[in-house]
Amino acid sequence: MNWDDFAHWGRHIADWGAAYHKTLRDRPVRAQTAPGEIAAQLPAAPPEGPEPMDAVMADFEAMVLPGMTHWQHPRFFAYFPANAAPPSMLAEQLVNTVASQCMLWQTSPAATEVEGVMVDWLRQALDLPSNYTGVIQDSASSATLSAVLTMRERATGYTGNREGLSSKGRLRIYCSEEVHSSIDRACWVAGIGQDNLVKLPTTGPRFAMDPAALDAAIATDIRAGHTPAGLIAITGGTGVGASDDLGPILAIAKRHDLYTHLDAAWAGAAMICPEFHATFWQGVAGYDSIVFNPHKWLGAQFDCSVQFLTDPQPQLNTLKIEPEYLKTTGEAVTNYSEWTIPLGRRFRALKIWFLIRSYGLDGLRSRIRNHVTWAEELCAALRDDGFEITSDPILSLFSFRCPGNDDDQQRLVDALNDDGRIYLTQGSFQGRKVIRFQVGQFDCTRDDVMVARDVITEIWKTIR
C-alpha cells in the first residue's frame, strides 16, 4: 500500500465510520451469530500474494461486521460503557499514524508532557488535591496490579522483588466483598494469594465495607502474626455499584500504616460532577493510589486508565528498572515506563486532550447527569410495571428481577439479547441472579432508555 492509497482508504473508512454510527440503531446490539460461524467464513490459510483493499474491506463488511457486538450502540445497557467519543477516535487515528513508543521522555517528549498535563486536568476535574500526580495505564487491572505490587514491596521493606516471598509470611490485603475480579487477580499474580485477600461484609444503602469489620480483621491478623499490607476501597462496584464510605476505612488503614488504593474505574467519571461528591467522594483525599477509567463513562476510546498517586516513589521503588539501553542523559525528566509494568507505551493522553477540548467538562457533565436521571426514571417505571428492584440506582446502575426464579432471570436476559433492540447482562447479588441495567452510552437519549421499558415488558410477556 502506498501513501496515496492510504489517504484514499483513510477517507473511505472515515466516511464509513460516520455512516455506521448514524445508522447504529438499525442493528441488533449484541451479535446474533453462533460460535464458529465467523471463523468458518475465513480462509484457513493466509494468502501468498497481495489482495486489493476493496476486497478486504468488502469482506470486513460481509463477514466481520455481523459478528460484532456494538458497544457504541445507543441502546447498550450491558456491563459498563466503553465510550469512544468521535474526537477521541480522531486523536487515536493521529496516534496510530505517528505510532511512537512513549516509554521515556526522550522517546517522545510531547507524549510525556501532554500526559503530565492531562493527568493534572483530570485531577482538577475530579477535585483531587494538588499533591496528586499520576500516570495513564492501559487498564484498571494494570493500575490495581501496580498498586498491589507496591503494597507487597512496601510491606516487605522493598525486599520482595530481590528475595522472593518464601520467607515473608502472610501479607494481608483488605477489601469489601463487592470488589471487581481484577482485585483478586492482582493478588494472585503478585504472590499474595487469594486466601490473603480478606473480603469484608458490606452494610448500608450503598453496600459499603463495614469499618468495624475492617478494624477487627486487622487486629485478628496481627495477633496471628500476619502482616497487614494494604486496603483496597471501591467507589462504584461492578455488580450493583457498591461504594465504600472512604473516610472511616482510610483512617483505620492509616492507623496501621497500610498502603491504600481506591478502585473508581467506572464511577470515577461521574466525579466530574460536584453534586455526587457528598455521597461518593468524601474522604477520597489521602488514598495513596486511585484508579479511574476515562475509557468507560467519560468518552475516551479504549484503552485509557488513569492512576493518581499522592507519592509516586513507593511505586517507582517497586517497578522502576533501568538497564543501560534505557538510560538517558540530561535534564531530570519523567520516564513513565518506570511507573508501570509494560515498557512500551501508547500515546494515550492525546485522546483526553481532544475529548476535553471538544466538549468541555460541562458537555461531559451534562451527559453523565442525564444518564443518572434517566436510570432513575426507568427504574421507577419498571417498579410500577411489577418488576422487583433488587438494588436502587447507584449513579446510573440498578438491578431488577422479573417474577420467577433465577432461571427465569436468565431466560429474560437471553430473550432480550436475542431480540437485539437492547442489550443488558445478568449479575449476582446477595445470592440471587439479578438483571443489571446501566445507562452510560455517549449518544444515548432519554428515548433510548425509555424504549428499554417497552422492550423489557413486551419480551417478558412472550416468555412468561
Ligand X SMILES: *Cc1c(COP(=O)(O)O)cnc(C)c1O
Which one among 182, 335, 340, 441 touches ligand X, defined by CB under 6 A? 182
Ranges within 270-329 binding ligand X (CB under 6 A)? 293, 305
Stretch that binds ligand X, among 216-224, 258-266, 336-344, 389-397 (CB under 6 A): 258-266
Stretch that binds ligand X, among 30-38, 57-65, 205-213, 262-270 (CB under 6 A): 262-270
Ranges within 39-98 binding ligand X (CB under 6 A)? 80
| Closest among 447, 422, 302 to 27, alpha carbons compared | 422
Amino acid residing at 157: G
Which one among 265, 378, 397, 416 touches ligand X, defined by CB under 6 A? 265
Total residues in contact with ligand X, by rule CB under 6 A = 14
Instruction: Say how far residue 46 (Cα) sits from the centre of its chain.
Output: 35
Q: Give whichever of 80 and 347 is closer to ligand X, judged by the CB atom.
A: 80
Q: Give whichever of 236 and 312 is closer to ligand X, judged by the CB atom.
A: 236
Question: What DSSP designation does 239 have?
Answer: T
What's the min distance (Å) between Cβ of 105 and ligand X? Answer: 25
Cβ 168 vs Cβ 156: under 8 Å: yes
What's the min distance (Å) between Cβ of 303 and ligand X? Answer: 7
What's the min distance (Å) between Cβ of 447 and ligand X? Answer: 26
CA distance 410 to 203: 27
Q: Contact letters (x/-) for ligand X, 360-389, by CB under 6 A? A: ------------------------------
Residues pairing with 437 in the sheet: 398
Q: Give whichever of 108 and 307 is closer to ligand X, judged by the CB atom.
A: 307
What's the min distance (Å) between Cβ of 233 and ligand X? Answer: 11
Q: Give whichever of 139 and 457 is closer to ligand X, judged by the CB atom.
A: 139
| Closest among 455, 365, 440 to 396, alpha carbons compared | 440
Q: Give whichever of 140 and 252 is closer to ligand X, judged by the CB atom.
A: 140
Which one among 180, 365, 367, 421 touches ligand X, defined by CB under 6 A? 180
Cβ 333 vs Cβ 105: under 8 Å: yes
Question: What DSSP designation does 1 have?
Answer: -
Q: Give whichever of 172 and 180 is closer to ligand X, judged by the CB atom.
A: 180
Q: Give whichever of 263 and 338 is closer to ligand X, judged by the CB atom.
A: 263
CA distance 71 to 84: 9
CA distance 18 to 14: 6
| Closest among 346, 339, 347 to 321, alpha carbons compared | 339
For 278, other C-beta atoms within 10 Å of its C-beta total 8
Does residue 178 bind ligand X (CB under 6 A)? no
What's the min distance (Å) between Cβ of 179 and ligand X? Answer: 7
Which one among 77, 207, 259, 266 touches ligand X, defined by CB under 6 A? 266
Q: Give whichever of 346 and 421 is closer to ligand X, judged by the CB atom.
A: 346
Strands (E), 310-418: 388-394, 397-401
Ranges within 113-172 binding ligand X (CB under 6 A)? 139-141
Locus of grid cell 460536584: 274
Amino acid residing at 97: T
Reduce the DSSP state of residue 245 to 3 states and report it: coil
Cβ 85 vs Cβ 355: under 8 Å: yes
Helix (H) or strand (E) holding 436: strand 432-438
Ranges within 441-460 binding ligand X (CB under 6 A)? none
Q: Which residues bind ligand X (CB under 6 A)?
A: 80, 139-141, 180, 182, 236-238, 263, 265-266, 293, 305
